[in-house]
Structure 1
Amino acid sequence: MAIGFARFEFQLVLMWRMLDLAPGRVEDALKELGATRAQMREAHRRWVSMPYSKTAPKGIARYRMVLGPPGETGPRTFGDLDCTYSLWELPLWPDLRFEVLTAPDGSTWHHWLVRAEGSPTPKLNGLDDLTPWSCVISDLGERFENARHVEGDAPGHWGVEFSTEGHDYQARFVHGLLQLVQGPR
């Protein structure tokens, strides 16, 4: 019997990529969710196989199938590019939203976790506050004016280089959520 795929499994999919960089935090979250590594691995396997299925929905329809209707949608413009943002709540990260940016044809351009409107931005007074899952990319960018985005080394990964206290660091994010800080360099 096939098991459904919904928010619970989707959270496991997001954590699969986080496992390499923040294994302790992922293990804690698995316990919190009452899930196993085997369930996380299976959820990831199913998610990555969906785009190859002839019957599974594509683009934004895939997210809607799994997560239901978004809590919020609206237009967004980046330069000459018009797109639509869609936001979903995920129980594991109540102060964040999963955001998907889509083209006018419904294909997806980008997806990640972002701070929910009205949720408090974490106090990032120093390096000790930059712990796994403590902030999203925009939080770090607001705190360190010299922050510079760099491409990640795997799907869903992203980096932000910044300087503080005379040293250079790189924060590594997965799906927009901080996993670790490397440095000083």
Structure 2
Amino acid sequence: MRYGVREFELTLMHRMRDVNAPRVERALRDLGATRAELRAAHAHWTRLAHAARAPKGLTALRSALGPPAREGERPVGSLTCEVACWVLPSWPELEFEVLTGPGGAPHHWAADFRHDGATYRARFVYGLYQGKERVTR
């Protein structure tokens, strides 16, 4: 089974269930996906993350999602990180962002989203939600 955009979105939904279950249920219906597919996609991503020969880091994300919509650099403290962003079909208002530090291992990433006319950024470390902040552009 190829791991692509749909599977990646399902993996994100699996991780979002505890935080925003109603949105995940709507997205599953819109995708025509089942909870079993959701669990299978998450299990597949986990297996890939631990497989010795599977692509890792940003290479794994490019393999699943294709080329980023935008790329660049961003200072984070005393580091300059590479940033790559993708727009996901299920949430065109949400941007999936990955920051990679020295050595290219993505461990921090963020997703920008709009709510009540404001833009927010949710931050994740190794896939675990850390918090959100309002973004002023």
TM-score, normalised with respect to structure 1: 0.64
Deviation at 1:4, TM superposition (A): 1.2
The 4+ residue runs of structure 1 with deviation greater than 6 A are none
Tell me whether 95-104 or 31-40 shows the greater mean CA deviation: 95-104
**Unpaired segments of 5 or more residues in structure 1?**
125-134, 139-148, 162-185
Deviation at 1:136, TM superposition (A): 3.2
Structure 2 residue corresponding to 1:49, chosen from 47, 50, 68:
47
- Listed one character per residue, the Cα deviations across residues 139-182 of structure 1 (whole Å, up to 9, x for unaligned) are xxxxxxxxxx9x99x95222359xxxxxxxxxxxxxxxxxxxxx
Could you say which residue in structure 2 is the equivalent of 1:175?
Answer: none
- Listed one character per residue, the Cα deviations across residues 9-65 of structure 1 (whole Å, up to 9, x for unaligned) are 101000101112322221111000110000000000011121211110111111011
The alignment covers a number of residue pairs equal to 133
Could you say which residue in structure 2 is the equivalent of 1:79?
Answer: 77
Distance in 2 separating the partners of 1:160 and 1:86: 19
More helix by share: 2
TM-score, normalised with respect to structure 2: 0.84
Over the matched positions of the two proteins, sequence identity in percent amounts to 40
Q: Does 1:137 align with 2:135?
A: no
What is the SS of the residue equivalent to 2:38? helix
Distance in 1 separating the partners of 2:65 and 2:90: 14
More strand by share: 2
Greater C-alpha radius of gyration: 1
Q: Does 1:159 align with 2:131?
A: yes
Letter in 1 for 2:121: I
Letter in 1 for 2:59: A
**Unpaired segments of 5 or more residues in structure 2?**
none
The 1:45/1:100 distance shift into structure 2, 3 A limit, reads: same
Deviation at 1:121, TM superposition (A): 6.7
Deviation at 1:104, TM superposition (A): 3.4
- Listed one character per residue, the Cα deviations across residues 101-131 of structure 1 (whole Å, up to 9, x for unaligned) are 012321113123124xxxx77426xxxxxxx
What is the SS of the residue equivalent to 1:95? strand
Distance in 2 separating the partners of 1:158 and 1:20: 14
